[in-house]
Amino acid sequence: MIRFAAAALIAAVSLAAAPAFAAAGASGTIQLNSTVAQTCTVSVTDAGTQLNILTGSNAVTVGSVVETCNDGAGYQISVQSANGGTLKSNATGAQPVSYTPIYDGQSSGSSVNVVRSSAQFNKTATVAVTVPANAQAIAGSYTDTLTITIQGR
């Protein structure tokens, strides 16, 4: 009877030492997830350039833009003039002076739209302006504001 009790005790200890989940081939999974938000930014530097209306200014650099957009489908840059592509003055008798904005070598009238086909990081582009000569311009200060906007596709 002592032998039987000793054998039962050894069997009980052996079973207790074996993990209950030790089935062959058992596994589990952990799902990993992350999201990257679309981020498109422009950093604009105004060169403080003075344009010459009397003799004209041809493709004069007026600033630069650093573009960053992580949209894999690309993005669009638009350049819009507050005055519809004209330099305006409050001087008596002054007429608006038309000009052409140029963004990264591209122009198309009073506004410019440039399409990039892929993501770009820290791409530098120049902003330039062409003003035709107007020897009969009225004295005064002529101004306009260009707004550069970036948007993912």
Give the DSSP letter string of 43-109.
EEEE--PPP-TTT-EEEEEEEEEEEEE--TT-EEEEEEETTSSEEB--STTPPPEE-EEEETTB--T
Share of the chain above pLDDT 70, in %: 85
Q: What is the pLDDT of residues 47-76, one digit of tens each?
A: 999 999 999 999 999 999 999 999 999 999
Question: What are the structural domains of the chain?
Answer: 40-152 (2.60.40.3480)
| Full-model pTM | 0.79
User: Count of residues for the chain?
Assistant: 153
Strand partners, 152: 75
